[in-house]
Amino acid sequence: MGKATSSPSHHEKQINTIGYSYAGVWPLAIFEGNYELAEFIYNHIRKSPIDFFFSLRLISLYFETFEAVVKQNRIDHIKVMDRDYKLNLRWERVQKYPLSQSVKSIGIVAKHGFVEGIDYFLTTYEYVDITFALRKAIEFRHLDVFRIICEKIPTSIWNFNEILQKAAFTGQREMVECLLDHGIPLYRYGRDIIRCNDIEIYKLLYLYRISEFKVEILHNILSNRVSLPLIEFMYENRSDKSVDPFRYYPVDLFYIIIEQDSFDKLQFFIKVRESVCYYTLIITAVRFKRSDMLRFIITSRNNENRKRYRNIETAERLQNRAISSLQQYGRCDTLVEEITNDILNVKLS
């Protein structure tokens, strides 16, 4: 059998009961600005034998009272509470309160958008990580709080990539712009960072970021059916007008567009591409049974950007595959005849 533990004495129970009673009065003294009485009560409670559950209750009571004064925008109360009432560090990092007192406090201030309170905590403490407060500012859409943190605190004190992802995903353009103005990425962006439906955010990300990130945007544009206006925007705002932003995209660019049945994108890329293999497009359009696309491709195949093949054998092979696809598709005799009579575009040796 285990060793028996002694139960609290009557005296200890009586003091704890008094402690609970006094704890209920303490917030009222704070709200009324009677700081001397509040300090007297707090010191009396601290002298009492405090068990684990009572310590948790005091921590909970502190933050409940703190949040109440934050809602009232009482910076005087906030300063007194932060200065005079330090929580018992033995119980501060229990599971329910994994954050330090100053981090938890600035998170509450950020939640309620109290700029003066944010300024106080940023001035008073040196934070190792302030990502928590930025998350709250995003969640409750407090741009002023978000901006002051970004402007005053270097990126090393908060997780740029995580915060940018949250701001972009929730469609908060001004926050995204603020991050791009003041932040530095910790690591290369992932594709999920731009999975939002706001074209203005896409534009911001494209204009601000480095070339590697632009490749990620291109992938997202095609794989998530982003509208054509963004693609047009990318072409209009490219730094080198002679360079195709999609030049490094895999050869399956048109395959993806035809599979998605994105007729407007097909028209656009056929128009802007310097070299297009129309035979490959015919084969793909037949595969996915895109009749409208097929007619447009065949009509456009004599454009100046028709691909010039390295040799006659390659050109004939692709032409024959296109003809075979059309014959299998059925009711394409006229189209087959047109393709058969093509003058193949082959580089001169």
pLDDT of residue 4: 43
Per the listing, tokens 């949250």 go with: 166
Task: Please say whether the beta carbons of 307 and 344 come within 8 A.
Answer: no
Question: What secondary structure does DSSP assign to 62-90, as a single string?
Answer: HHHHHHHHHHTT-HHHHHHHHHH----HH
Nearest to 81 by CA among 59, 58, 62: 62
pLDDT of residue 224: 66
With 80 as the cut, is the pLDDT of residue 89 above it?
no
Say how far apart CA 344 and CA 28 lie, in whole Å: 90
Say how far apart CA 258 and CA 325 lie, in whole Å: 15
Q: What percent of the chain has pLDDT over 90?
A: 46
pLDDT in tens, 189-230: 666 566 677 888 888 887 876 555 566 667 777 766 667 888
If pLDDT is split at 50, 70 and 90, which confidence band does 55 have? confident
pLDDT in tens, 129-138: 899 999 999 9
Phi-psi region of 261 (alpha: psi -120 to 50; beta: other; left: phi over 0): left
pLDDT of residue 3: 43
Question: Which amino acid appears at position 259 of this protein?
Answer: E
Higher pLDDT, 242 or 13: 242
Q: How far is CA 222 from CA 71, 219, 235, 294, in A?
A: 45, 5, 15, 20
pLDDT in tens, 76-86: 999 999 999 98
User: CA triplet 192, 186, 107: central angle to 5 degrees?
Assistant: 85
With 50 as the cut, is the pLDDT of residue 5 above it?
no
pLDDT in tens, 233-258: 888 887 777 777 777 666 688 998 99
Say how far apart CA 336 and CA 324 lie, in whole Å: 9
Say how far apart CA 83 and CA 65 lie, in whole Å: 15
Phi, psi of 72 (to 5 degrees): -85, 0
* CA count, 13 A, side-chain hemisphere, 22: 19
Q: Which residues of 32-57 are buried (b: 16+ CB within 10 A; e: fewer)?
A: eeeeeebbebbeebeebebeeebbee
With 60 as the cut, is the pLDDT of residue 20 above it?
no
Mean pLDDT over 309-336 rounds to 90
pLDDT of residue 79: 97
Within 8 A by CB and 6+ apart from 81, the residues are 30, 62, 65, 66, 69
pLDDT of residue 179: 92
pLDDT of residue 8: 45
Say how far apart CA 42 and CA 19 lie, in whole Å: 9
Mean pLDDT over 37-49 rounds to 81
With 50 as the cut, is the pLDDT of residue 11 above it?
no
Question: Which amino acid appears at position 115 of this protein?
Answer: V
| Helix, strand, coil share of the chain (percent; to 5) | 65, 0, 35
With 50 as the cut, is the pLDDT of residue 16 above it?
no
Out of 90-99, 254-263, 332-341, give the one with best mean pLDDT: 254-263
The three-state DSSP-derived secondary structure of 275-311 is CECHHHHHHHHHHCCCHHHHHHHHHHCCCCCECCECC
Higher pLDDT, 294 or 333: 294
Task: Please say whether the beta carbons of 283 and 320 come within 8 A.
Answer: no
Mean pLDDT over 258-273 rounds to 92
pLDDT of residue 232: 87
159: DSSP letter: -
Q: What percent of the chain has pLDDT over 70?
A: 81
pLDDT of residue 245: 75
Phi, psi of 92 (to 5 degrees): -65, -35
pLDDT of residue 258: 95
The crossing angle, in degrees rounded to 10, of helices 173-182 and 199-208 is: 10
pLDDT of residue 349: 56
pLDDT of residue 12: 42
pLDDT of residue 107: 96
Question: Which amino acid appears at position 244 of this protein?
Answer: D
* This prediction's pTM: 0.74
With 70 as the cut, is the pLDDT of residue 92 above it?
no
- For residue 216, the SS3 value is helix
Say how far apart CA 168 and CA 198 lie, in whole Å: 8
Within 8 A by CB and 6+ apart from 311, the residues are 346, 347
Say how far apart CA 245 and CA 250 lie, in whole Å: 12
Higher pLDDT, 115 or 40: 115
